[in-house]
Amino acid sequence: MPSKHKSLIIEEYQGYSTSKGVELVMTLHPQMCLVLFTKPRWEHHVVPFIEKEGESIELVRWYYGNAEMVIMDPTGRVLITPELRHRVGISKEVTLLGLGTSFEIWDKTQFHERETVIAQSQLSDKVNALPR
């Protein structure tokens, strides 16, 4: 993969400041995308949730076992390791979704295929019913 595809750029967004290096946690989501959290968000919200759900050792293994500490550089770039790119099928371009206090990172093609399936499913009725 060319080096220009090895990082993604995140604009300033709820706790993600591009003015200095920021510690982040990137982990694999069961829907086969990556999830990116600030380190404080991971430590204070995600970890307690995972530990509360501790009856499910599989959940603990999934999130902890796939978590990697990453540093956002001053220009807002984050390196996605080859292993994580491979696990979620990121080949060239990504789709970055801001979800309030985290980001999901998807392979662009896979995300658009997923959107098409959702648009054709019963979920589309629920989405259409949302206030605009």
**Measured distance CA(43)–CA(26) in Å, rounded:** 13
Q: What is the pLDDT of residue 101?
A: 80
pLDDT at 119: 73
Q: Contact 94/108 with Cβ under 8 angstroms?
A: yes
| Dist. CA 102–CA 44, nearest whole Å | 13
Contact 82, 37 (CB under 8 A): no
What is the reported pLDDT for 53? 61
**Residue found by looking up tokens 């750029």 in the block:** 9
Question: Quick one: pLDDT at residue 107?
Answer: 94
Q: What is the mean pLDDT of each run of 10 residues along the chain (132 residues)?
A: 47 53 86 90 80 70 87 82 92 86 90 83 68 62
Q: Give me the pLDDT at residue 1, please.
A: 38
Tokens 């920021």, residue?
22
**Does residue 30 contact residue 53 with C-beta atoms inside 8 Å?**
no
| CATH entry, 3-129, from 3.40.1550.20, 2.60.40.420, 3.40.50.880, 3.20.20.80 | 3.40.1550.20
